[in-house]
Amino acid sequence: MGKYFGTDGYRGEANVDLTADDAFRVGKFLAYYFSEGGKKECRIVIGKDTRRSSYMFEYALSAGNYRRRCRCLSYARNNDAFCELYCPCRRLFPAVL
């Protein structure tokens, strides 16, 4: 998966390079990582932009998080700055689409 990670994160064309299955796996990994291997509760915030593919990736990422029993909050049309400011004060981990 090294070729998909750019300087700002996971990159590629929706349903060509990046599929819902990829987002599901990333969601499972994020939940595993932030819960420290399932040892503690975690909550992840998903912020997304207005592209149509964002919905597909949001749902797949959320499904991966729920699979690992991680709570997932979705805030539509929010960007990196929102997550950077909002998440630390609420003890949340950001995932921006």
Q: What is the pLDDT of residue 91?
A: 63
Continuous segment of H or E residues that includes residue 96: strand 93-96
Q: Give backbone dihedrals phi and psi of 9, rounded to 5 degrees, phi first.
A: 135, -150
Q: State the maximum Cα–Cα separation within the chain, in Å, rounded to a whole number.
A: 37
Helices 20-34 and 53-67, axial angle in degrees (round to 10): 40
Report the predicted TM-score, pTM, of the whole model to 2 decimal places: 0.71
Q: What is the pLDDT of residue 21?
A: 92
Q: What is the pLDDT of residue 83?
A: 62
Q: What is the pLDDT of residue 1?
A: 47
Q: What is the pLDDT of residue 18?
A: 83
pLDDT tens for the 97 residues of the chain, in order: 455 554 556 677 888 888 889 889 988 988 898 888 878 888 887 777 777 888 888 889 889 888 888 888 776 666 666 666 666 666 666 565 5
Q: Give backbone dihedrals phi and psi of 15, rounded to 5 degrees, phi first.
A: 65, 10
